[in-house]
Amino acid sequence: MRAPPSAGGFNSPWTLAIRAAADQGRPRRAIALYLASLRSSCRPCPFALAAVLKSVPRLPEHAVLPAAASLHAHLLRLGLLSHPYPHAALSHLYSHLLPPHHNHARGLLDDAPTPLNRHSLVSSNSLLASLLRAGDIPAARAMFEAMPARDVVSWNSMVAGLAKAGHLDEAIEMFDQMPETNVASWNALVSGFMAQGHLAQAQELFERMPTRNNVSWITMISGYAKAGDVQAAANLFDRMGSKDLYAWNAMISCYAQNGCAREALGIFNRMLKPHIWVVPNEKTFSSVISACSQLGDLRFGLWVENFMGYVGVDLDDHLRTALVDLYTKSGRMDRAFDLFRGLRSRDVVSYSAMIVGCGMHGKLNEAVGLFKEMSKARIDPNAVTFVGLLSAYSHAGLLEEARACFTSMTSRYRINPSMEHYTIMVDILGRCGKLEEAFQLVMQIPVCPDASVWGALLLACRLHNNIELGEVVASKCFELEPQESGYYILLGNIYAQAKKWDKVKGLRKMMAERGLSKTPGSSWVHVA
């Protein structure tokens, strides 16, 4: 009997396709292709299996461990566990999943039947990398020193690990000692400079690199994104030659995280153009949904949700949470609740998204209920949770409850109030006529209060027609945002109410001098 056709060497079409899918960050496609290769009665290919194993960590979180376990069983059944490629890939996979010291990779390593030298070096590198990932620098250093053989990957791991842990000087020293470097060595160093905020030095190093790959470009782009330099990131993105999925994701996320929601959706559209057509994945959609949410663009969001089904991206908990945020912001609370209840596991982020949504729409009972529910589940609230809760109380006009909540946030949960918390408290105190207390609270803010805090207080002064405090507060607002006409109008209204027409006139003059005009629809004389 003839052997079935082989999916054999690493150049067979199936194996190539599987490796391509794995490299593109499409784990489900890699697995599907592998299964298809078996169905078309190809012999299981160890190289293809290695690629599939490599892509497993990119599955949705809940699917990673089951996939690892069933592939492990599959390898055992086929007798391919001792083949160096899948063996190394499986060790590496386990070293991602488990802490390095009671590492499954260790066990696999010890059980391996007299591995090739090359194989043992790869496995050692994998273990070294997992020590560094766990942040155990001393153990990694000891292991590196004790290794009988090292290659460029061992050195790269050390350079990257040291740089990431903040030991930039040592990383540079190590880099200089390397017998040979490759593009990954340079990337590791560039990434270290970026992470420590040395942007100019990173850029200089980047320009000096003998060769650059996509990782080099993406490291720079996401570094600038984190530093908030959108323009620098965009310039690099434009200079980049062939952009892969990761590059598009980095740029979309850069825009979305820096408040440039329109630009984020713009380049998302660009990557879908027929002559570009890069298939988006989970990461793409989570940035895109976040951009929709910033714009309150429900219709595009609904289209995106549909489109995700079309390209075969399924709703994981991250995406559900992003959608919860979008739907609450667009007032679709029923839909948001459905998604929230469908979460595999709820955490502080998803609870907070839901509580903030309830706070925004005056659903006090629901907000408080969710807060109790998360406490019961022993999920600690964070600053965002309290933004939601406080705004729910504020919305309902419950001053005492808001005060108690604010106190418990700082004293019981040890959360430092942010400007947003202060703004909500000032707003409710002000609306309840406690102007003096609101002012005292503003004075207690340890850092310089921003315009939103002063603005809330000014609004309260207008509500209760307090000229003396209003003048003080308005001058702060003018100082912080001289071009914002709303503050002048609020103060003008306070003057008009008290029939201080000369003061109104003075304000008008001030506005004209600063090139401001009264926004249409707002009035300050007729209200009097």
Residues in region 92-131 near DNA by CB under 7 A = 92, 118-119, 121-122, 125-126, 129
Residue among 240, 330, 322 at smallest CA distance from 282 = 322
- Structure letter (DSSP) for residue 100: G
Nearer to DNA by Cβ, of 8 and 57: the residue is 57
Indicate whether 219 belongs to the interface with DNA (CB under 7 A).
yes
Residue 213 sits in the site that holds DNA (CB under 7 A): yes
Q: From the CB of 298, what's the least distance to DNA, in Å?
A: 15
Window 143 to 182, contacts with DNA (CB under 7 A) = 151-153, 156-157, 160-161, 164, 182
At residue 43, what are phi and psi to the nearest 5 degrees?
-70, 140
List, in order, residues 6 or more apart from 30 with CB less than 8 Å away: 18, 21, 22, 51, 52, 55
Cα–Cα distance measured from residue 320 to residue 32, given in angstroms and rounded to the nearest whole number:
24
Window 27-56: residues binding DNA (CB under 7 A): 50, 54
- Judged by CB under 7 A, the residue of 31, 80, 88, 392 near DNA is 88
> Quick one: 385 or 493, whose CB is closer to DNA?
385
Q: Is 256 in the site for DNA (CB under 7 A)?
A: yes
Least distance to DNA, CB of residue 283, Å: 5
23 binds DNA (CB under 7 A): yes
**Token representation of residue 330:** 């667009």
Q: How far is the CB of 525 from DNA (least distance, A)?
A: 40
Closer to DNA by CB, 256 or 490: give it.
256
Taking alpha carbons only, the member of 11, 96, 95 closest to residue 47 is: 11
Among residues 133, 142, 194, the alpha carbon closest in space to that of 165 is found at 133
Structure tokens at 293: 């949410």
Residue 25 near DNA by CB under 7 A: yes
Q: Does 258 bind DNA (CB under 7 A)?
A: no
Long-range contacts of 238-242 (CB under 8 A, 24+ apart): 240/214, 242/214
Q: Where does 56-97 have alpha helices with state H?
A: 61-78, 84-97
Find the part of the chain contacting DNA (CB under 7 A) among 28-36, 70-78, 286-294, 497-505: 286-294
Give 444: exposed, middle or buried? Use CB within 10 Å, 0-12, 13-18, 19+: exposed
Kindly tell me which of 219 and 330 has the beta carbon lying closer to DNA: 219
Indicate the SS3 state at residue 6: strand
Options 45, 71, 108, 188; binder of DNA; rule CB under 7 A: 188
By the 10 Å C-beta count (0-12 exposed, 13-18 middle, 19+ buried), 484 is classed as middle
Q: What's the min distance (Å) between Cβ of 349 and DNA?
A: 4
Q: In angstroms, give the least distance from the CB of 340 to DNA.
A: 10
187 binds DNA (CB under 7 A): yes
Q: Output 42 or 122, the one with its CB closest to DNA.
A: 122
Q: Minimum distance between the CB of residue 256 and DNA, rounded to whole angstroms?
A: 6
For the chain, the residue count is 528
Q: Is 312 helix (H, G, I), strand (E, B) or coil?
A: coil
Of 374-413, which residues contact DNA (CB under 7 A)? 382, 384-385
12 binds DNA per the rule CB under 7 A? no
Minimum distance of DNA from residue 331's CB (angstroms): 14
**Which is closer to DNA, CB of 194 or CB of 428?**
194
Shortest Cβ distance from residue 378 to DNA (Å)?
16
10 touches DNA by CB under 7 A? yes
Tokens of 88: 């190394």
Nearest Cα to 486, choosing from 506, 462, 450? 462
DSSP 515: T
235 binds DNA (CB under 7 A): no
Among 168, 240, 250, 425, binds DNA (CB under 7 A): 250
Closest to DNA by CB, 353 vs 489, is 353
User: Does 293 contact DNA by CB under 7 A?
Assistant: yes
Which residue type does 240 have? M
Among 14, 34, 85, 94, binds DNA (CB under 7 A): 85
CA-to-CA distance for 383 and 363, rounded, in angstroms?
19
Residues 299-358 that bind DNA (CB under 7 A): 317-318, 321-322, 325, 347-350, 352-353, 356
Smallest separation (angstroms) from DNA to the CB of 4: 22
DSSP states of 10-67 as a string?
A: TTSHHHHHHHHHHHTT-HHHHHHHHHHHHHTTPBPPHHHHHHHHHHGGGS-HHHHHHH
Shortest Å, Cβ 119 to DNA: 4
Query: Measured from the CB atom, is 249 or 394 closer to DNA?
Result: 249
| H-assigned helices in 342-434 | 348-360, 364-376, 383-396, 399-411, 419-431
In whole angstroms, how close is the CB of 337 to DNA at the nearest point? 15
